[in-house]
Amino acid sequence: MQVLDEPRKVQELTEAWRRAGERIGLVPTMGALHAGHLALLARAAAENTRLVVSIFVNPTQFDRPDDFQTYPRDLSRDLRLAEEAGCDLAWTPTPVQMYPPGPPTVVEVTGLSGILEGAARPGHFRGVATVVTKLVSVVKAHRAYFGAKDWQQAVIVRRLVADLLLDLKIVVCPTVREADGLALSSRNVNLTPEERRAAPVLSRALQWGAAEIREGRRDPEALRRGIVARIAAATAAPLDYLAVVRPETLEPVPSADPPVLLALAIRFSKARLIDNLLVEP
């Protein structure tokens, strides 16, 4: 596995692969790799002849400096896991390489970026859209892989690719969970032992909501009240939002007729977690 930081060198290598007829899969990450990332890498390895992982803790998508400072980092471990997963290239740029000095160019998907996560974290999706545009422009992958846990991010990236007419397929892979249902996240390590014991209530509450919908109970407000009550019984951590929305547009629904997405965000003491569940017909 090659490890490069300079964007130009990455571009030269991936362009050579393209000329040779290789199919390139890209898994963008902020490091702190876990089984969810490894599932993305496995899917990408199976569907492409070259596998690229980017490892970059992107400062522009953090709405709070303390969250950026405490985000877990272990590059040597990440590189070992990436090589074991079959990566051909690990791209590890620095902030200065990604954001040269001077007035910045930014990319923003309006509308979709201002709701749910975007409302709770102003500027977050502008940072995501900007860095994803840079990553895919340099790597020129044929496919890029994202996890369904970050559902809104995936919706925004798909819209970005469509609007900018990029020659790229976005592949969204299922959320990987712990045995007790907690969605894997690099931020899980920041939970206290008590919070970690309580956190699986998120997936249980979403599953309850999905079961209610499948039983024909479609009132969004009643679903929200029931989910909130179940979470509140397990933890005093405040919810940022709990939404019942259309999966592709993220618009609120008057009736929770499948397909519908249940999505939430919660703030523990040192970790903000998100989760969602798609209820299909």
| pLDDT tens readout for residues 77-107 | 999 999 999 999 999 999 999 999 999 999 9
pTM of the model: 0.96
Ranges of each domain in the chain: 2-173, 186-273
In order, the DSSP letters of 103-140 are SPP----TTGGGSTHHHHSTTHHHHHHHHHHHHHHHH-
Say which CATH topology domain 2-173 has.
Rossmann fold (3.40.50)
* Superfamily classification of domain 186-273: Pantoate-beta-alanine ligase, C-terminal domain (3.30.1300.10)
Active site residue 124: no
For 146-161, write each residue's pLDDT tens digit: 999 999 999 999 999 9
Q: What sign for the dihedral angle of Cα 173, 175, 179, 185?
A: positive
Q: Mean pLDDT of all residues in the chain?
A: 97
For 24-43, write each residue's pLDDT tens digit: 999 999 999 999 999 999 99
